[in-house]
Amino acid sequence: MKDAPAEPVNNETIEQTIERLGAVVPDYPKPGVVFRDLTPVFAGGEAFRAVVDSLLAEYKGRFDYVAGIEARGFLLAAAAAYAAGKGVLTVRKPGKLPRDTYSESYSMEYSENTLEVHQDDFPAGSRILILDDVLATGGTLGATARLIEQAGGIVAGFGVVLELRDLGGRTALHDYPVHALAAY
Ligand SMILES: O=P(O)(O)OC[C@H]1O[C@H](OP(=O)(O)OP(=O)(O)O)[C@H](O)[C@@H]1O
Ligand SMILES: Nc1ncnc2[nH]cnc12
């Protein structure tokens, strides 16, 4: 069951709030990339709350843990897990987790990287909601789904603040529910 909608900011839709506060940075971190910087959304107190509440409302009652992807996904996952009274899991860049891990490499819009999870951070069969700020090619979320499944979890779904449609991430993640608060 979905929760009630989040409190609007300035009588806007959540998409309008994200559009108003998000910054557009051409040629960062590489020439040709149009970087969508959501840090002003996170810094706007009411906007951050509305974003987290909106992501949670979509998946209410359908997850046991919230996983955040390093680094920007951590902000969303920690706030959402706290608000929902659930545990938070960290999906980390390589070499940061101290115990036995699963590891997955992937390509994304402007780099290649590896993500890791601990092998035993949650019981097998747990339903995991995965949060991140941006969905672009889907490389990052796809690798995260593979990690959660290797560790015995069930992907409850993905929640992102912003989807960049032209980069095809939703198609790449076709087996999973994807909820984006805004899309360009
Ligand atoms: O859909 P994709 O093409 O995979 O791109 C989306 C990812 O790109 C950014 O991560 P980045 O690796 O730049 O991490 P950061 O949060 O550490 O800056 C963003 O936070 C997403 O995780
Ligand atoms: N264009 C973009 N802006 C912000 N984050 C991203 N992650 C991948 N592509 C991105």
Q: State how far the Cα of 177 lies from the Cα of 58, in Å rounded to an integer.
A: 10
pLDDT of residue 43: 97
Pocket-forming residues, ligand 1, beta carbon under 6 Å: 69-72, 108-109, 113, 132-140, 169
pLDDT band for position 7 (cuts 50, 70, 90): confident
Torsion angle of the four alpha carbons 61, 63, 65, 68, in this order, in degrees rounded to the nearest 10: -110
pLDDT band for position 3 (cuts 50, 70, 90): low
Express each pLDDT in 13-59 by its tens digit.
999 999 999 999 999 999 999 999 999 999 999 999 999 999 999 99
Prediction pTM value: 0.96
Atom 1 (ligand 2) nearest CA: 35
pLDDT of residue 5: 65
pLDDT of residue 2: 58
User: What is the best residue among 25, 36, 38, 69 to mutate for testing ligand 1's pocket, by most ligand atoms within 8 Å of CB?
Assistant: 69
Work out which ligand 2 atom sits closest to the CA atom of 25.
3
Asked whether the ipTM of the predicted complex exceeds the cut of 0.90, the reply is yes
Q: Tell me, using a 6 A CB cutoff, whether residue 108 lines ligand 2.
A: yes
Q: State how far the Cα of 134 lies from the Cα of 161, in Å rounded to an integer.
A: 6
Provide, rounded to the nearest whole percent, the portion of the chain with pLDDT above 90.
93
Chain mean pLDDT for the chain: 96
Catalytic residue among 36, 72, 92, 170: 72
Rounded to 5 degrees, what are φ and ψ at 29?
-85, 5
Q: Is 20 designated active site?
A: no
Q: Is 163 designated active site?
A: no
Q: State how far the Cα of 68 lies from the Cα of 128, in Å rounded to an integer.
A: 10
Work out which ligand 1 atom sits closest to the CA atom of 108.
3
Catalytic residue among 36, 92, 104, 109: 109
Express each pLDDT in 62-121 by its tens digit.
999 999 999 999 999 999 999 999 999 999 999 999 999 999 999 998 999 999 999 999
